[in-house]
Structure 1
Amino acid sequence: MKIALAGGHGQIALLTTKLLAASGHEVWGIIRNPAHTEDIEAAGGQSLVLDLEQSDSETLAGELASREVDAVVFAAGAGPGSSAERKLTVDRDGAILLADAAWRAGAKRYVLVSAMAADDFDPASDDVFQVYLRAKSEADAAIRATDLDWTIVRPGGLTDDAATGLVTLAPSTGRGSIPRADVAWIVSQLLSTGGAVHQQFEAISGETPIAEALRAL
């Protein structure tokens, strides 16, 4: 399978690239900074240099189609310290742009890494975190409305701990945390198996092996 990951230099994306490449998939990391190419290649992928905030769906679709991409992952984010405006232009608009481009390019599989409790944002607040949740919630809603074979993963608090391979997955899990490495395992399993299409779920550390938890959704 040929897969493009938006936010290709992020920690989850690099971990996912390693897993997918090790399984024989061809992975393209979408990055805006060409200096990050070396890290993508070290993970086993290739770089697609394009700034989602400065692109349009037709341009991105052309890049995806030229690489015969079968599936896309949105794991991008404006990042800590970014403005409320960029939460909307990256976390929301970037996810929607990727969906439209994927549809144009004929890549029907879409996995979106979102955030736990995204729908609980305060619509009257201009607090950056509340705008972040709003951006994730609105992106999720837009993706659910598409004809793509989407899956939305809403992880809890992200840690840099080693993968455990054990999770709790449910529409609502309650508060909890999860290693980025386990989120990467979830994403790679979703792509490799084609499972959990049209499913949205939260993910935290638990006691169930990832493959088993995904099958039970």
Structure 2
Amino acid sequence: MSRIAIVGGHGQVARHLIHDLRRSDHDVVALVRRESYRAELEQRGAQVRLLDIEEQGAADFAAAFAGCAVVVFAAGGGPDGNKERKRTVDLEGSLKSIEGARSAGIRRFVQVSAIGVDDPLPDDTGEVWRAYVEAKRDADAALRSSDLDWTIIRPGRLTDDPATGLVTLGSSVLRGDVTRADVAAVLAAVVDAPRTVGRQWDLVGGDTPVAEAVATAG
């Protein structure tokens, strides 16, 4: 099985993803900025490498990806009101991950985005939300225009409810909620599914088992 690097390896989705990937016998490298995360993530079965998304450059990303066959970009600037971090983490972190993957000779790249970020924003949109949407939109556009074997997953509103194993996945679906655990299950499934290369899918809770959804989504 392949070794998979997760950028933003201490995030809530990422921690679920580590479990799912290890259950499939993948090796997992969790990339995090704080040494204090090491013990928890190693207990979950991940190898931990330090990487400061905002302060380090693409060459550092490439070095952190050494020995990996897949990159999953699951980082985010957080829920606070810091609009600058939407650019430095959600956009620039993705751009450096893309370049780092290319430099490291890694073809497979899976990115976590957000549903509806290509839609026009109302004039009264708050500046932080606008910065977030624009960062995700531009990161997705950059990945689509790259020469990598990419997949983009765009979840709806994330919840901490238990996993259901049932989702709706497709190129355009109605907005809705989805558990973080179900997002991780979809990410783990698409990593090994060749048919998902070059696909950008919205993801919300639904009625279709994850494996079937990934196998049939259009």
- Structure 2 match to 1:200: 200
Separation of aligned partners in 2, 1:75 and 1:212: 23
CA deviation after TM superposition for structure 1 residue 24, in Å: 1.1
- Structure 2 match to 1:117: 116
- Structure 1 match to 2:107: 108
Q: Any conservation in 2 of the 1:58–1:101 contact (CA below 8 Å)?
A: yes
Q: Any conservation in 2 of the 1:165–1:182 contact (CA below 8 Å)?
A: yes
Q: Any conservation in 1 of the 2:168–2:207 contact (CA below 8 Å)?
A: yes
1:65-76 correspondence to structure 2 within 5 Å: 65=66, 68-76=67-75
Contiguous gaps of at least 5 residues in structure 1 = none
1:153–1:79 distance in 2 versus 1, CA, 3 Å: same
1:21-36 correspondence to structure 2 within 5 Å: 21-36=22-37
Q: Any conservation in 1 of the 2:51–2:64 contact (CA below 8 Å)?
A: no
Q: Which amino acid aligns with 1:137?
A: R
Contiguous gaps of at least 5 residues in structure 2 = none
- Structure 2 match to 1:145: 145
What is the TM-score normalised by the length of structure 2? 0.94
Q: Over aligned residue pairs, what C-alpha RMSD do you find?
A: 1.4
CA deviation after TM superposition for structure 1 residue 123, in Å: 9.0
1:25-64 correspondence to structure 2 within 5 Å: 25-64=26-65
CA deviation after TM superposition for structure 1 residue 121, in Å: 4.8
Separation of aligned partners in 1, 2:79 and 2:171: 26
Identity of aligned residues (%): 43
- Structure 1 match to 2:92: 93
CA deviation after TM superposition for structure 1 residue 116, in Å: 0.7
Deviating above 2 A after TM superposition, structure 1's stretches of 4 or more consecutive aligned residues are 120-126, 192-195
CA deviation after TM superposition for structure 1 residue 195, in Å: 3.6
What is the TM-score normalised by the length of structure 1? 0.95
